[in-house]
Amino acid sequence: MKEANNANLDNNTLETAVIKPMNTISRIWIVPIITALLGLWMVFHYYSNLGPLITIELTEAEGLEAKITKIKLRDVEIGKVESIKLKSSLDGVLVKARMSKDAKDLLVEDAKFWVVSTKVSHSGVSDLNTLFSGNYIEMQPGRSSEYSDYFKGLDERPITDPSTPGMHITLNSDEEFAFDTGAPIFYKGLKVGQIEDVYFNFDERVVYYNAFIKAPYHKLITHNTRFWDISGIRVDLKAQGISVKMGSLESLITNGITFGIPEGMPVGEPITERAYFDIFASYEQADAARYQQAIKYMLLVEDTVRGLNIGAPVEYRGVRVGRVESAQFLAGQATDMSLDEVKIPVVISIQPGRIGLPDTEESLKLIDKQMNRWLENGLKAKITTGNILTGSKIVELHHAAKNEQIAHQKNYEKQFFNDLQVIPTEPDNFAKLAQKTSDFISHLAQLPLDDLANNTNTMLTELALTAKDFQKTAQGLTAILNETKQQKVVSQLNTALTQVGQVANDFSAGSKNYQELTNTLMLLQESLQALKPLLKQLNNQPNSLLFEGVQYDFVEPKAATTKSQGEKE
């Protein structure tokens, strides 16, 4: 059977088998492969468009949140905070922020970052929108070309945008007034700049203010420009009188500075780069600062120097030629002086710029030569009252009278004190008047007013008795004349005696004229008694007629009372 089957196979034609390879990967894998490629493309696209990661160092992270807080430039989002952590030194925080790809070119060394939040200050409320949107970090582009990914954030918003046209200057002051960041700078009432930041130099003990003047006002700044304080209200009591000055309303709330060129000074060359300027307390000090050259002289004053302040004017015929530099009691003097040797050294300076000369050393030589000539001819100085209301005093230079100049030239000899030439002094006319008034009141107080009052009282009593006796005599004469009434001569005499009797009656005790005379003399007596405390006070304090001083309490003696006519009899 087996052989039969093999025979059948041999007889039949056999077909060749076709061998095909078997599929090892199914078509279903196409989907994940495409998905993977798409994912790779998305990853590549993400990282290729991913902005740089930067670090911002801040003092605190108030109002900042990771993955939420935005970084903005001109209200356009350019980044977002990734993480916030403390510094290892615990003196600040490090904020990691992812910036957009477009902001990469803005990340230069001098770029600035700060936190924007709602702030309430004396100048108003700022950034109120952050109450709803939350705090964010603001960026200010820099001008450098060097790339950086680490920045130190600012505590406050920069006062001036770097792109603002204008000029930066540095102001300094060692006075007690102070200015804060944002303090305004005015020119003729217009706000033209402000203080950007404040720095105190401990070594120099001077406050430096970096300020910015906006264009085109920065062209007003020259080498002769002066800056001075206009904060609040200023009241000055000077020899010239009372001066009240007030700046703008803004300068009343916040301190302010103004600038200008003092009257009479040239404009000067414009400033083209950062320069340094002093801040003066007032325009007067700013104006006086231009007088750099001065020659000093010494005054030895025997009178009081009360009211003579440092900086008080030195005048010649009403024109200011200098200022008072100092007044020190023991400057160059021994401590064991007698009363006759006590003098107050007062140093004054003569400034050539105030009298129309150039402010140079050559002008000092001319002034010294002229002063020596005048001193030989009797130039003197006196401290006089510049203003009676304020009590301020000034130094006045004047020449001696012509009849005294010849005698002065013969006896003149240069005097020096503390290496300064001495200008002779003389008392003020007002002081002389006060002294004479004091002497007069002193002599007036020494008058025997009590004896005078007693004598006046006695005289009044005797006058009353005399009037009474005269009345009795007149009555006797009237009786005699009645008997000889028909004679012409006697008649005329009668008429005359009648008139005398009327006069006597008018001044008799109890009459109206007698009473008026008595009252007048009594008022005179009371006035003299009331004048005694005033005379005593003026004797103890002569200047109380002109100035208010301490009032002394005096016991006023009671005036002696006169007895009535009935009691006298």
Lowest mean pLDDT among 210-214, 258-262, 438-442, 533-537: 438-442
For residues 268 and 440, give the distance between their C-alpha atoms in angstroms, rounded to a whole number: 60
Assess whether 283 and 324 both reside in one domain.
Answer: no
Residue 344 pLDDT: 86
Pair 349, 323: CB distance under 8 Å:
yes
Q: How far is CA 324 from CA 239, 299, 307, 346, in A?
A: 13, 10, 12, 7
Assess whether 279 and 301 both reside in one domain.
Answer: no
Question: Residue 236 — very low, low, confident or very high, per pLDDT cuts 50/70/90?
Answer: low
**pLDDT score of 12 more than 70:** no
Task: Report which residue type is found at 26.
Answer: S
Residue 563 pLDDT: 46
Q: What is the DSSP letter of 541?
A: -
Percent of the chain past pLDDT 90, that is, above it, reads: 22
Sign of CA dihedral 221, 223, 226, 227: positive
Assess whether 379 and 474 both reside in one domain.
Answer: no
Assess whether 261 and 303 both reside in one domain.
Answer: no
Question: Residue 255 — very low, low, confident or very high, per pLDDT cuts 50/70/90?
Answer: confident
Helix/strand number for the chain, H first, E second: 12, 26
**pLDDT score of 184 more than 70:** yes
- How confident is the model over 472-493, as a mean pLDDT? 63
Does 438 map to a domain?
no
Segment 552-561 long-range contacts (CB within 8 Å, at least 24 positions apart) = 556/529, 556/530, 556/532, 557/450, 557/529, 557/532, 559/453, 559/525, 559/526, 559/529, 560/453, 560/454, 560/457
* Residue 484, C-beta contacts closer than 8 angstroms, at least 6 positions apart: 490
Assess whether 496 and 540 both reside in one domain.
Answer: yes
For residues 339 and 302, give the distance between their C-alpha atoms in angstroms, rounded to a whole number: 10
Does 379 map to a domain?
yes
Q: Say how many C-beta atoms besides its own lie within 10 A of residue 15's C-beta.
A: 6
Does 191 map to a domain?
yes
Does 540 map to a domain?
yes
3-class secondary structure per residue, 130-199: HHHHCCEEEEECCCCCCECCEEECECCCCCCCCCCCEEEEEEEECCCCCCCCCCEEEECCEEEEEEEEEE
- How confident is the model over 352-372, as a mean pLDDT? 89
Assess whether 421 and 318 both reside in one domain.
Answer: yes
Locate 478 and state its tokens. Answer: 């009237």
Residue 85 pLDDT: 93
Q: What is the DSSP letter of 262?
A: -
Task: Report which residue type is found at 203.
Answer: D
Residue 567 pLDDT: 42
Q: Last residue of some domain: 152, 187, 220? A: 152
More reliable by pLDDT, 47 or 268: 268
Residue 30 pLDDT: 81
Assess whether 505 and 471 both reside in one domain.
Answer: yes
Assess whether 222 and 187 both reside in one domain.
Answer: yes
Beta bridge partners of 112: 140
Pair 288, 323: CB distance under 8 Å:
yes
Does 189 map to a domain?
yes
Q: Average pLDDT over the chain, rounded to whole?
A: 78
Lowest mean pLDDT among 304-318, 352-366, 405-419: 405-419
Question: Residue 552 — very low, low, confident or very high, per pLDDT cuts 50/70/90?
Answer: very low
For residues 262 and 265, give the distance between their C-alpha atoms in angstroms, rounded to a whole number: 6
3-state secondary structure of 399: strand
Pair 369, 377: CB distance under 8 Å:
no
More reliable by pLDDT, 237 or 158: 158
Predicted model pTM: 0.55
Assess whether 270 and 380 both reside in one domain.
Answer: no
Assess whether 306 and 416 both reside in one domain.
Answer: yes
The pLDDT tens digits for 307-357 are: 888 888 999 988 899 999 988 776 555 555 555 567 889 999 999 988 888
Residue 252 pLDDT: 53
Assess whether 479 and 540 both reside in one domain.
Answer: yes
More reliable by pLDDT, 200 or 404: 200
Q: Last residue of some domain: 288, 308, 332? A: 288
Task: Report which residue type is found at 252.
Answer: L
Structural domain count, the chain: 4
Lowest mean pLDDT among 59-73, 234-248, 304-318, 441-455: 234-248
**pLDDT score of 159 more than 50:** yes
Residue 118 pLDDT: 82
Question: Residue 253 — very low, low, confident or very high, per pLDDT cuts 50/70/90?
Answer: low
For residues 172 and 160, give the distance between their C-alpha atoms in angstroms, rounded to a whole number: 20
For residues 422 and 13, give the distance between their C-alpha atoms in angstroms, rounded to a whole number: 156
Assess whether 278 and 300 both reside in one domain.
Answer: no
3-state secondary structure of 425: strand
Q: Last residue of some domain: 122, 152, 182? A: 152
**pLDDT score of 417 more than 80:** yes
3-class secondary structure per residue, 189-253: CEEEEEEEEEEEECCCCEEEEEEEEECCHHHHCECCCEEEECCCEEEEEECCEEEEEECCHHHHH
Does 304 map to a domain?
yes
Question: Residue 566 — very low, low, confident or very high, per pLDDT cuts 50/70/90?
Answer: very low
Pair 494, 486: CB distance under 8 Å:
no
Does 26 map to a domain?
no
**pLDDT score of 473 more than 70:** yes
3-state secondary structure of 54: strand
The pLDDT tens digits for 284-295 are: 888 888 888 899
Question: Residue 390 — very low, low, confident or very high, per pLDDT cuts 50/70/90?
Answer: confident
Pair 230, 283: CB distance under 8 Å:
no
Does 36 map to a domain?
no
Domain range enclosing 228: 166-288
Residue 564 pLDDT: 42
More reliable by pLDDT, 5 or 327: 327
More reliable by pLDDT, 529 or 218: 218
- How confident is the model over 173-182, as a mean pLDDT? 79
